[in-house]
Amino acid sequence: MKFSIISNDPNSLARTGLIENDHGKIHSPVFMPVGTIGAVKTFSPFELADMSFEIKLGNTYHLYLRPGVDIIHKAGGLHAFTSWEKPILTDSGGFQVFSLARLNQISDDGVEFQSHLDGSRHFLTPELSMQIQRFLGADIIMAFDECPPGKADSTIIANAVKRTSSWMKRCNNWAENNPELYDYRQTLFPIIQGGVDKDQRKISIDDLVPFAKCGIAIGGLAVGEEKSAMMDTIQFCCEILPIDQPRYLMGVGRPSDLIKAVRRGVDMFDCVMPTRNGRNGHIFTSEGVLNIRNEKFKNDFSPIDPNSAHKWGNLFSKAYVRHLFNIKEVLGIRIASTLNLAFYENLMRTMRQEINNLNFNNWSKDMLEKMKNMKGM
């Protein structure tokens, strides 16, 4: 995999770039829709490609539990199994182990946990995470890390940083000594930890950058910390991370946060927000987030968003989509989720254009000021 910078904003750390791997090209800054268990809910891979998404995300923890890596390996890897021909990134499973599973014990060896599905017992190690991701065959794979809660004390954060560094060495050792299973290369991203403690972030960066061949992730944010502290941490990390590698901010997805993070030098994002919110009837529009279930839309026959980047925004009325949600018709979820993903893809495309046109500083300030008065942004 290789990364090249196309343009730099002269008034911030924002930049556009091109990530190239064996499954295609990714223009950054980029938002990656989340296909946790092999699918972005209610979307075919062809629909995602038609919406101009160039990469999607899958999750090691969920795919390990079901359908299981043996089945995916027999199919020829996650690309073949899901009929997605473009790049894929898989998370290590660490975050889900700490947030979803019933955690029994964490040690330097790994994490013992019970499945959130059936209570079965598992022991996930850095080596097993790498092995699972090798079988899955994603283009970008993530190192196994420990993600502490946002308001964890200094001792817990320091221990997580230390353990993440140790696990990174084990992930790298396994990856270097076990060849790829498919006819393309995988790229391993380290994950920086340290909460909002800049000293711990610096330690984590110093420990992990030597293992970053073409990309590094900023983890452990958007987990309960103050928003201003999160942004300060992003800025701090991006200022000292290698310039010539893509920076991936994990799990941050509110539109205003994407703009702020791009200003601070982030290149890659993922979040379940557009599809999860869509399934709950919350639609991102050019005027803010609509709760389409609201009674006030019962007789509102105006289009959901005439300024939407997707034709459905001007095609379907608020009253109709509200009706679909009230009768639990899956088309309502499809419409809301489609408009949300289109909103996110258009936001990233616009940011790339503004950076390339050397107008990102003015555009982003105006947009962030506008978003202050928009619900849910």
User: In this predicted model, what pLDDT tens digit does every residue of 202-250 receive, in sequence order?
Assistant: 999 999 999 999 999 999 999 999 999 999 999 999 999 999 999 999 9
pLDDT bin (cut points 50, 70, 90) of residue 94 is: confident
Q: Based on the fold, state whether residues 165 and 261 are members of the same structural domain.
A: yes
Task: For residue 116, tell me if it sits in a domain.
Answer: yes
In the prediction, which pLDDT does 117 show?
87
Cβ neighbours of residue 144 closer than 8 Å, sequence gap 6 or more: 92, 93, 94, 110, 124, 125, 126, 129, 130, 167, 170, 171
Q: Based on the fold, state whether residues 178 and 311 are members of the same structural domain.
A: no
Encode pLDDT of 1-18 as tens digits. Answer: 999 999 999 999 999 999
Look up tokens 């000594």; give the residue: 177
Q: pTM of the prediction?
A: 0.97
Residue 215 domain boundaries: 2-271
Q: Based on the fold, state whether residues 284 and 264 are members of the same structural domain.
A: no
> Residue 133 in contact with residue 144, Cβ under 8 Å?
no
Q: Based on the fold, state whether residues 259 and 283 are members of the same structural domain.
A: no
> Residue 79 in contact with residue 23, Cβ under 8 Å?
yes
Q: Based on the fold, state whether residues 191 and 52 are members of the same structural domain.
A: yes
Strands (E), the chain: 2-8, 15-21, 24-28, 30-32, 56-59, 88-91, 102-106, 111-114, 121-124, 140-142, 187-189, 191-192, 216-218, 247-249, 268-270, 282-285, 288-291
Q: Based on the fold, state whether residues 153 and 37 are members of the same structural domain.
A: yes
Q: Which of 224, 251, 271 is the last residue of a domain?
A: 271
Number of residues that this document lists for the chain: 377
Q: Which of 255, 271, 287 is the last residue of a domain?
A: 271
Task: For residue 290, tell me if it sits in a domain.
Answer: yes
Task: For residue 376, tell me if it sits in a domain.
Answer: no
How far apart CA 57 and CA 233 sit, in angstroms, is 24
Q: In the annotation, is 91 catalytic?
A: yes
Q: Based on the fold, state whether residues 75 and 172 are members of the same structural domain.
A: yes
Catalytic option among 9, 91, 145, 305: 91
Catalytic option among 145, 197, 267, 270: 270
Q: Based on the fold, state whether residues 95 and 116 are members of the same structural domain.
A: yes
User: For the chain, what is the domain count?
Assistant: 2
How far apart CA 372 and CA 256 sit, in angstroms, is 9
Q: Based on the fold, state whether residues 172 and 102 are members of the same structural domain.
A: yes
